[in-house]
Amino acid sequence: MKKLLLASAACVMVAGAASAEDVKIGVSFGFTGPLESMSPNMLKSVELAAKEVSDSGKFLDGSTVSVVQGDSTCTDAAAAVATVERLVTAEGVKGIIGGMCSGETIASLEKVGVPNGMVMISPSATSPALTGIADQGLFFRTSPSDARQGDVMADITLEHDIKTVAVTYTNNDYGKGLADAFVQAYEAKGGKVTMNAAHDDGKADYSAEVAALASAGGDALVVAGYVDQGGSGIVQGSLDSGAFSTFVFPDGMVAQALVERFGNQLETSFGQNPSADGQGHDTFNEMATAGGFDATSAFAGESYDATALILLAMQSAKSSDPKVYKDKVMEIANAPGEKIYPGELAKGLELLAAGTDIDYVGATAVEMLEPGETAGTYREVDFKGGTLNVVKFR
């Protein structure tokens, strides 16, 4: 009998070991391109959440997590599609963190994600066009839609007593969607837009665009662009010519790279990007500092949360199959349930394994609305003293 029991126990152990796997999570970020300075901290946030889950030993019967990265370039849709195709078909990932920019995210989702039944959670694609996309319940985002950012930016601009603005936006889904949302909200609240015009990224000289904006005039220039591309080119051209000295910056521009380039030349400028305060935000900051990276970098918290949501959804579904766990993402992101913060992913895994509901709060106060995006909290920033300063949260 004793031998029989030992044999049975051995069989159980072998069965348990066989059920464990190395779950690959793909990352499709713009490691080159107009937001390349943001990507490293976003990747480190993904890796932080993946390591936390993997090290816990509590994930899917002892499964581990590995991160496989790919370069979407952020703005080249064909390159992004090829990257995601490789992650899905060659690497065998079970979920994608990405895309990073809106246009390439739409292309990757429609051409690869949906046809392959792959869950994609973007931490930074904010175009309102993604809200109504036919995603078969596979796409989510931990950053809010620019329909909300446009409204928040209009309020902040008017509170700075700026009644007239010129607007320039990067010529893609992100730029146009955000510019249109801002213009609509700003004019509805009593502001006047003197010009709303696109600019192309990758140019060496933006003097013609700046001249047209200067001719239209305004108390400030709204730059809905990319910090590592045309957005900074527009700012440089404006400062060099004296066309504008006050700029309004949305999320694609709010980065340390902006301060490093322009320093105290942005003394009267301001902006906003998705972020949050409170327990989750503070804990994530501490974890990131210990991990050697900047938690306040744009979309870092959202990247940690996107990764945590995928892995916790797998645990809830008891499966790494995206066609199965996709139905759990909204469930674990919202009440009811025990609140889970950064650093508590092992606790979340334990609760889910026991059949207990969780409410994932994470680093960015996650609360998901249909069809799978966050309502969003924003931090207002200024650049007084040549540094990036948090003014308040909204």
pLDDT of residue 194: 98
How many C-beta atoms lie closer than 10 Å to residue 190's C-beta?
9
Q: Which amino acid is at 386?
A: G
Q: What is the pLDDT of residue 375?
A: 83
Alpha-carbon torsion (75, 252, 94, 291), positive or negative: positive
Tell me, what's the pLDDT at 19? 81
pTM score = 0.90
CB 198 within 8 A of CB 170: yes
pLDDT of residue 16: 36
Q: Give me the pLDDT at residue 14, please.
A: 36
**Per DSSP, what are the bridge partners of residue 23?**
65
Token pair of 370, please? 């249909």
The angle formed by the CA atoms of residues 141, 157 and 35, to the nearest 5 degrees, is 40
φ, ψ of residue 195 to 5 degrees: the values are -160, 145
DSSP assigned state of 251? T
**Residues contacting 60, CB < 8 A, separation 6+:** 19, 20, 21, 23, 314, 315, 318, 320
Residue 183 contacts by C-beta under 8 Å, 6 or more apart in sequence? 150, 167, 193, 196
Domains 2-143+278-355 and 146-250 share a fold: yes
Would you write out the chain's pLDDT as a tens digit for each of its 394 residues?
333 333 333 333 333 334 899 999 999 999 999 999 999 999 999 999 999 999 999 999 999 999 999 999 999 999 999 999 999 999 999 999 999 999 999 999 999 999 999 999 999 999 999 999 999 999 999 999 999 999 999 999 999 999 999 999 999 999 999 999 999 999 999 999 999 999 999 999 999 999 999 999 999 999 999 999 999 999 999 999 999 999 999 999 999 999 999 999 999 999 999 988 899 999 999 999 999 999 989 999 999 999 999 999 999 999 999 999 999 999 999 999 999 999 999 999 999 999 999 999 999 999 999 999 998 889 999 999 999 999 999 9
Query: What number of residues does the chain have?
Result: 394
* CATH topology (fold) of 2-143+278-355: Rossmann fold (3.40.50)
Q: Which residue, chain included where needed, has tokens 């013609």?
A: 208
CATH class held by domain 146-250 = alpha beta
Q: Give residue limits of the domains in the chain.
A: 2-143+278-355, 146-250
The answer to whether 345 and 358 have CB atoms below 8 angstroms apart is no
Supply 241's token pair.
């010519």
ω into 123 cis (within 30 of 0): no
Do the strands 120-122 and 164-170 form a parallel or antiparallel pair, or are they unpaired?
unpaired
Q: How far is CA 104 from CA 176, 301, 349, in A?
A: 14, 21, 32
Distance CA 29, CA 80 (A): 9
Phi, psi of 339 (to 5 degrees): -70, 135
pLDDT score of 391:
97
d(CA 331, CA 142): 14
